[in-house]
């Protein structure tokens, strides 16, 4: 905790030093805000000319000069009215606006060298205490985060207390760049996103579509084995459905505009849950049938601003790994435990063995349902989590307005946390849709509802998978498992027969029969991160054998086709758990 506090102070001071450097290098630039953030700091600037990567190097150099000068950070207090007036006279309208909204009669200012900034502090003693820093990137940002206001330029940087810490962080950034799923998606020919089609709308190429299909088939089998019934529901629905669910009243800014069909407004669906409840309502349910578990890989569409779209991680159209469970109140704890274990087992299958768990509780102000029911639900979740033996943290007030939830964040190969699985309790929709079951006394009773996603959206999950494995997916997930390559035309017939035999054994292959040197073929297939490369020359053809190379530059030598098939199938079955 103390280290984090020291880091925050250091990084906030670094933001001041960066702003001082920018003002000195680029006169006329207006400053906005410059806080410390989780991994560093930023400052927002209003400047007519765009900053360039080359400017970052100049700013770093000027910061180094300011650091060497070892200017003290000096705090002073000024009357608020005078401060606002002075900022306005200097043309610093953003600082004037911030100062005018401070409730105290006096405001604190921090001066270091020639730069004075409106700030609460605290800061390091002097600029010379900043030793390990790096400017990272430039981005756009709206003033106050409001798209109707001025567009500013944001410069991100980071700072650490030790050289080792900053070196480790920068190495992590470089590793993350190498693993960027957008680059991997292009290099491996998996998907594309084109503005002609629309931002945030994914075009899955043949190999990407196959990867998605592999995951979907696993998902369906896994859910059927765990007592779920599969559903398929329409992509659009009458606005009336989303009025009943409340989405139209509370979520309309994230929904696409209505389309009129025969004089009636329809919406493309942002959620699957309303339709799942309509399926539940088609017949009478006894307590003996509960829990009712529905699952659907439902494609939904949500409007996201273009500035937040990010490859597969933030899109506008996606396949939701959706499940909805209708339970009797006394079944809640057991079902929560069941869903949690199901989520963990699913994530482990994909190679995620480390995670952090959060229990998000009732929001302080905006929530539906009685506090007594919230307490009951939260206690049920706590009891379920205790039975797992897992350590979890309380996210106080972080629940949805309609109920508490469990969030599972997985840790990837380079230590980053990703939000995937979520289990959400819902007091709201059972009431809005007036669903019920017949209890053991023969009377109508209101059930509880659980929303749950094990992987999140498939688009986002595939993006996470690609970055976790740096594109080298496990055998069972690889769209192409084996590349067959001949040395020359004389082996083409043998390779064609070999390819057909591998396909008949459900092994996904490509035959690289191009008129290229074998070294070139091998290099290209290695770049495609294909798990196995089979090479056939005259010697192998005449003996009815194959030479096998495994990913990671492992030479497995020469073997029979049947032995190779057994090797691949055993690895595939072991890794997938299928």
- pLDDT tens, position by position, 480-515: 999 999 999 889 999 999 999 999 999 999 999 998
Q: Give yes or no for residue 127 having a pLDDT over 70.
A: yes
Q: How much is the pTM?
A: 0.84
pLDDT of residue 250: 80
In which band, very low, low, confident or very high, does the pLDDT at 577 lie, cut at 50, 70 and 90? low
pLDDT of residue 116: 87
In eight-state DSSP terms, residue 283 is: S
In which band, very low, low, confident or very high, does the pLDDT at 1 lie, cut at 50, 70 and 90? low
More confident residue, 571 or 145: 571
pLDDT of residue 442: 93
Q: Give yes or no for residue 209 having a pLDDT over 70.
A: yes
Computed over every residue of the chain, the mean pLDDT equals 91
Residue 194 exposed, middle or buried by CB count within 10 Å (0-12, 13-18, 19+): exposed
| Positive/negative CA dihedral, 17, 18, 22, 23 | negative
Q: Give yes or no for residue 535 having a pLDDT over 60.
A: yes
Q: What's the rounded Cα separation, in Å, for the pair 290 and 571? A: 38
In eight-state DSSP terms, residue 31 is: E
Least confident of 46-55, 357-366, 500-509: 357-366
Across 130-142, average pLDDT: 92
Q: Which domains does the chain have, with CATH numbers?
A: 1-179 (3.30.980.10), 186-351+428-469 (3.30.930.10), 475-576 (3.40.50.800)
Q: Which two tokens stand for residue 208?
A: 């990407």
More confident residue, 97 or 399: 97
Q: What's the rounded Cα separation, in Å, for the pair 517 and 503? A: 25
- Beta strand spans in 212-283 (E): 229-230, 236-238, 259-261, 264-268
pLDDT of residue 470: 93
Rg (CA), the chain: 29
Q: What's the rounded Cα separation, in Å, for the pair 516 and 497? A: 20
Q: What's the rounded Cα separation, in Å, for the pair 242 and 129? A: 57
Q: Which of 41, 82, 84 has the alpha carbon at shortest distance from 59?
A: 41
Q: Give yes or no for residue 292 having a pLDDT over 70.
A: yes
Write out the binding residues: 273, 324, 451
**Active-site residues: which are they?**
273, 302, 320, 322, 324, 405, 451
Backbone angles phi, psi at 475, to 5 degrees: -50, -45
- β-pair partners for 326: 292, 449
pLDDT of residue 167: 93
Pairing of strands 229-230, 106-112: unpaired
Write out the binding residues for Zn(2+): 273, 324, 451
Cα–Cα distances in angstroms (integers) from residue 571 to residues 220, 345, 545, in the given order: 21, 19, 20
Across 519-535, average pLDDT: 94
Residue 291 preceded by cis peptide, ω within 30: yes
pLDDT of residue 372: 79
pLDDT of residue 23: 93
Q: Give yes or no for residue 576 having a pLDDT over 80.
A: no
pLDDT of residue 419: 87
């Amino acid at each position: 905790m103390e280290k984090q506090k020291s880091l925050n102070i250091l990084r906030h001071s670094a933001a001041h030093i960066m702003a001082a450097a920018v003002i000195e290098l680029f006169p006329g630039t207006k400053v906005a805000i410059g806080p410390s953030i989780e991994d560093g700091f930023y400052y927002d600037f209003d400047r007519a000319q765009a900053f360039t990567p080359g400017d970052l190097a100049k700013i770093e150099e000027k910061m180094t000069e300011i650091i060497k000068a070892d200017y003290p950070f000096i705090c002073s207090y000024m009357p608020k009215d005078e401060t606002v007036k002075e900022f306005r006279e200097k043309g610093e309208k953003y600082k004037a606006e911030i100062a005018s909204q401070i409730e105290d009669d006096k405001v604190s200012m921090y001066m270091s060298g020639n730069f004075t900034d409106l700030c609460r502090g605290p800061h390091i003693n002097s600029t010379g205490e900043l030793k390990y820093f790096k400017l990272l990137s430039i981005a756009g940002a709206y003033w106050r985060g409001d798209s109707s206001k001025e567009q500013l330029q944001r410069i991100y940087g980071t700072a650490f207390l030790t050289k080792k810490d900053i070196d480790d962080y920068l190495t992590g950034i470089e590793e993350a760049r190498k693993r960027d799923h957008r680059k991997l998606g292009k290099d491996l020919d998996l998907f594309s996103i084109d503005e002609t089609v629309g931002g945030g709308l994914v075009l899955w190429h043949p190999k990407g579509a196959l990867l998605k299909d592999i995951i979907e088939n696993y998902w369906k089998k896994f859910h059927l084995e765990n007592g779920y019934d599969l559903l398929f529901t329409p992509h659009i629905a009458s606005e009336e459905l989303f009025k009943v669910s409340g989405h139209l009243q509370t979520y309309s800014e994230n929904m696409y505009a209505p389309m009129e069909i025969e004089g009636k407004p329809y919406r493309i669906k942002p959620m699957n849950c309303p339709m799942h409840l309509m399926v539940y309502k088609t017949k009478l349910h006894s307590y003996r049938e509960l829990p009712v578990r529905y699952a659907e890989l439902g494609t939904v569409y949500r409007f996201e601003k273009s500035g937040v779209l990010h490859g597969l991680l933030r899109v506008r159209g996606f396949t939701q790994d959706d499940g909805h469970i209708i339970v009797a109140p006394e079944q809640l704890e057991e079902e929560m435990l069941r869903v949690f274990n199901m989520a963990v087992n699913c994530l482990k299958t994909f190679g995620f063995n480390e995670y952090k768990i959060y229990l998000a509780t009732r929001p302080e102000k905006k929530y539906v349902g009685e506090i007594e029911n919230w307490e009951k639900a939260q206690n049920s979740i706590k009891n379920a989590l205790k039975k797992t033996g897992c350590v979890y943290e309380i996210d106080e007030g972080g629940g949805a307005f309609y109920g508490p939830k469990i969030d599972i964040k997985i840790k990837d190969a380079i230590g980053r946390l990703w939000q995937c699985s979520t289990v959400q309790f819902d007091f709201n929709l059972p009431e809005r849709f007036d669903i019920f079951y017949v209890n053991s006394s023969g009377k109508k009773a209101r059930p509880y509802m659980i929303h749950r996603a094990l992987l999140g959206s498939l688009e986002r999950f595939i993006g996470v998978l690609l970055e976790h494995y740096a594109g080298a997916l496990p055998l069972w997930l690889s769209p192409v498992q084996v590349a067959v390559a001949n040395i020359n035309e004389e082996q083409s017939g043998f390779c064609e027969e070999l390819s057909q035999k591998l396909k008949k054994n459900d092994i996904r292959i490509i035959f690289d029969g191009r008129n290229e040197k074998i070294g070139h073929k091998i290099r290209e297939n290695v770049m495609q991160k294909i798990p196995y490369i089979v090479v056939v020359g005259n010697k192998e053809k005449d003996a009815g054998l194959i030479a096998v190379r495994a990913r990671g530059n492992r030479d497995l030598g020469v073997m029979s086709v049947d032995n190779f098939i057994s090797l691949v199938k055993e690895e595939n079955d072991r890794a997938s758990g299928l």
